[in-house]
């Protein structure tokens, strides 16, 4: 696992000094990424991305994050693994794309540049949470994998959107004053866990599984945490997949279907 964090400031809250908190947030997650860490910032845009790395796929420095695309347009801090990245890489290479390393992160950035964020996401098989900054569109995309294997928390702190893999990272941001949400505590007492619709702190929302939050700095002016949660959209839904399967089940030999299911699960 890796640890990701970042800050996007609304124009009215723009203060380049506040961006240094992104590195402090990442330092609270050393256990998630003991191999290396990095920070990328654009003070004029009011954005900073930070990363703690656990090297798995590409052990070299070419897998260092936050990672910038070869065009310089996209910057990403990523936690997870894309299982089919070699197949995607082969397709991109056939279309003329060249790579400097062997990481799945670099393949993701190339896919975003070539196909767009939404189309590329549909092709990814894996577990992931990431923050992607589009320097041309000046838009931040926060994305979580289909079933929510990798965590991603989002907060508003004094006019800035702040995100991190773990809740404790928010304590590294000056001005963060959390308050307990009694509804979340009630759910813990009732069923032993907190649903995706709630967080133990009122000031934080959990990005749901299969969801994306895309936002620009100027859109943060005047927004509250409820308004921010209202901007989240689903890019994948299990119900959308299961519905057609239930209404139109496969008509094939049951033994063949069992073998195919076994192969897929394996």
- Edge-to-edge, what's the strand order for the sheet holding 160-164? 36-42, 47-53, 3-9, 160-164, 153-157, 204-206
At 49, give phi and psi (nearest 5°): -120, 140
What is the rounded CA–CA span in Å between residue 53 and residue 78? Answer: 9
Q: How far is CA 90 from CA 18, 96, 98, 233, in A?
A: 41, 10, 10, 30
DSSP 62-113: GG-SSEE-TTSSEEEEEEEEETTHHHHHHHHHHTT---SS--HHHHHHHHHH
The DSSP call for residue 133 is E
Is 2 one of the annotated active-site residues of the chain? yes
The DSSP call for residue 180 is B
| Beta bridge partner(s), residue 204 | 155
What is the rounded CA–CA span in Å between residue 22 and residue 45? Answer: 15
Evaluate the omega torsion of the peptide bond into residue 176 and state whether it is cis, within 30 degrees of 0: no
Catalytic residue of the set 2, 4, 13, 76:
2
What is the rounded CA–CA span in Å between residue 9 and residue 22? Answer: 12
Among all residues, which ones are annotated catalytic?
2
């Amino acid at each position: 696992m890796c640890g990701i964090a970042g800050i996007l400031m609304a124009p009215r809250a723009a203060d380049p000094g506040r961006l240094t908190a992104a590195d402090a947030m990442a330092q609270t997650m050393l256990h998630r990424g003991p191999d290396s860490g990095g920070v990328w910032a654009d003070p004029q845009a009011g954005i900073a991305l930070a990363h703690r790395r656990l090297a798995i796929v590409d052990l070299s420095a070419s897998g260092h994050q936050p990672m910038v695309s070869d065009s310089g347009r996209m910057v990403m801090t990523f936690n997870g693994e894309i299982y089919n990245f070699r197949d995607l890489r082969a397709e991109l290479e056939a279309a003329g794309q060249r790579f400097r390393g062997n990481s799945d992160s670099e393949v993701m950035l190339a896919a975003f540049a070539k196909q767009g964020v939404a189309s590329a996401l549909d092709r990814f098989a894996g577990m992931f949470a990431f923050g992607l900054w589009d320097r041309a569109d000046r838009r931040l995309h926060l994305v979580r994998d289909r079933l929510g294997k990798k965590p991603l928390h989002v907060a508003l702190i004094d006019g800035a959107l702040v995100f991190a893999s773990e809740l404790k990272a928010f304590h590294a941001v000056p001005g963060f004053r959390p308050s307990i949400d009694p509804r979340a505590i009630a759910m813990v007492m009732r069923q032993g866990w907190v649903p995706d619709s709630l967080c133990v702190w009122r000031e934080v929302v959990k990005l749901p599984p299969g969801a994306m939050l895309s936002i620009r700095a100027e859109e943060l002016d005047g927004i509250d945490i409820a308004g921010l949660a209202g901007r989240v959209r689903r890019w994948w839904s299990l119900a959308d997949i299961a519905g057609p399967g239930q209404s139109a089940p496969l008509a094939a030999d049951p033994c063949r279907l069992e073998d195919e299911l076994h192969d897929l699960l394996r």
